[in-house]
Amino acid sequence: MVAVQGFGYLGQALSSAEIFAVLFSGGFIRAGQDRFVLSPGHYAIGLYAVGAETGLLNVEHLASYGKDEALLEAIGTERTPIVDLVCGSLGQGLSGAIGFSLAARLSGEERDTYAFLSDGEMEEGQVWEAAMFAAHHRLNRLTVIVDVNGSQVDGPVSSVTTLEPLGEKWRSFGWRVAEVDGHDVEALSTALDKRNSGTQPFVILARTQILGGMKSIPATLDGHFIKLDKDLERALIAELEAALA
């Protein structure tokens, strides 16, 4: 998809690939029943790939990623398929997910709500207000997964605002917390198995690498928005195929 125009959010796809794969193909999100919120809209690229692999999206749409009038926009909007809510400004997704979760409880519906957040969003006060509200109302059918890749548009997250210790912060707000390697499929699945085992909402801090550990990508390259020339494209594909062999 990134190779179509030579630029795009490849770094986000590489850091979140296993997270989306486990959520949508590991038997956790039940299509048509559960709710899924994508807070950082530019992560939609990873979601598109998983949608195509799992039959939720026509694979032919991938070739038009990011083009004018395309279904698969580079940054997700209200038209984005698969998800129930995509947010514009960062930091809003958890509030929307709480709305879905609370509505399900009030209407007596047996559904879970999942929200995907990025660590840079933790700098927004709205996230913590929402976290406090969810814990107060004991929304135990709400699960949040945070991609903790340490990267945002202005550089490393740690150079903009100190967020750590993230786990202790979420616990202090009344959430159950799991911290895992976000590239470890088994660890993600094991953590998600515990999502409804308590009386409080649940957050998984998935610690990842913005470039997914790909050695073909020069360290000098901006991982937030990658420009992909043909040489780098071929090197990445060769590296991925070698890993799958």
What pLDDT is attached to residue 216? 86
Non-local CB neighbours of 77 within 8 Å, separated by 6+ positions: 41, 86, 88
pLDDT at 146: 98
Q: Which helix (H) or strand (E) holds 5?
A: helix 2-5
Between 150 and 58, the more confident residue is 58
Instruction: Provide mean pLDDT across the span 68-84.
Output: 91
Mean pLDDT (the chain) is: 92
Q: Quote the CA–CA distance of 9 and 86 in Å, as a whole number.
A: 16
- What pLDDT shows up at residue 206? 98
Q: Rounded CA gap, 172 and 151, in Å?
A: 24
Q: Report the number of distinct structural domains present in the chain.
A: 1
Residues of the chain above pLDDT 90, percent: 68
Q: Cα separation of 133 and 33, whole Å?
A: 24
With bands split at pLDDT 50, 70 and 90, how would you rate the model's confidence at 150?
confident
pLDDT score of 224 more than 80: no
> What does the pLDDT look like over 152-207, one tens digit per residue?
777 777 878 888 999 999 999 999 999 999 999 999 999 999 998 899 999 999 99
| SS3 at position 28 | coil
For residue 49, is pLDDT > 90?
yes
pLDDT at 219: 75
Q: Give residue 236's domain range.
A: 2-244
Considering only CA atoms, which of 48, 39, 137, 40 is closest in space to residue 97? 39
Identify the top-confidence range among 22-31, 87-96, 107-116, 223-232: 107-116
pLDDT at res. 8: 82
The CATH number covering residue 56 comes to 3.40.50.970
Token readout for 171 is 């616990």
Q: What is the Cα–Cα distance from 209 to 229, expressed in whole angstroms?
A: 22
- How does residue 223 score in pLDDT terms, banded at 50, 70 and 90? confident
